[in-house]
């Protein structure tokens, strides 16, 4: 009659060991999640930086290729087209602005240096735009060739001269 009935259960030591293991598992999963989130943020920032450079590079190449005339200043490049439209690039230290009609594009690029130089002494109308841009910690040196056609320059000079003479007559 003195039979003891034992109930199966955990001892305090087993419960403590399971709590410690759960704490370690939760800490490791939180650390892994944190590392993955930091890597995703870095990846996104790198992709944004490369995307900004690629968009700027494609836009300026296309604009220069289609331009009929250009006027350069210290920090500005004005591209003119046959249809009367113009695109103005404004270079600053932390960004490059592209003004086209009522639309303004901002390229967030770190511009290390920029300058206009003569491409060839025999062709004084042609210029080279040198831009040094920092992307992902590295500097990228780019050269954009701006060409003025001599025939177009002569035609626009005389065409504008005749318009001004006709306006003075009126």
Compute the distance between CA of residue 132 and CA of residue 112 in angstroms, rounded to an integer: 5
Compute the distance between CA of residue 60 and CA of residue 47 in angstroms, rounded to an integer: 20
Residue 163 in this model has a pLDDT that exceeds 60? no
Token pair, residue 6, equals 């034992």
Token pair, residue 1, equals 């009659």
Question: Could you give the 3-state DSSP secondary structure of residue 48?
Answer: helix
pLDDT tier at 65, thresholds 50, 70, 90: confident
* The dihedral sign for the CA sequence 34, 36, 38, 40: negative
Averaged pLDDT score across all residues of the chain: 85
What's the pTM value of the predicted model, to 2 decimals? 0.69
Q: Which of 6-10, 34-38, 95-99, 110-114 has the lowest mean pLDDT?
A: 6-10
Token pair, residue 38, equals 């930091």
Domain ranges of the chain: 34-169
């Amino acid at each position: 009659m003195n039979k003891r009935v034992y109930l199966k259960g955990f001892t305090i030591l087993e419960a403590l060991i399971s709590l410690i293991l759960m704490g370690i598992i939760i800490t490791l999963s939180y650390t892994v999640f944190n590392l993955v989130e930091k890597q995703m943020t870095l990846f996104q920032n790198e992709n944004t930086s490369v995307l900004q450079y690629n968009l700027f590079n494609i836009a300026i190449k296309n604009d220069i290729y289609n331009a009929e005339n250009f006027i350069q200043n210290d920090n500005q490049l004005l591209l003119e087209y046959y249809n009367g439209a113009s695109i103005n690039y404004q270079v600053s230290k932390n960004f490059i602005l592209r003004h086209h009609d009522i639309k303004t594009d901002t390229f967030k690029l770190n511009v290390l240096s920029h300058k206009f130089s003569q491409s060839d002494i025999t062709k004084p109308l042609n210029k080279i735009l040198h831009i040094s841009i920092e992307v992902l910690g590295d500097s990228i040196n780019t050269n954009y060739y701006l060409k003025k056609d001599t025939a177009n320059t002569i035609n626009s000079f005389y065409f504008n001269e005749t318009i001004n003479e006709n306006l003075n007559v009126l």
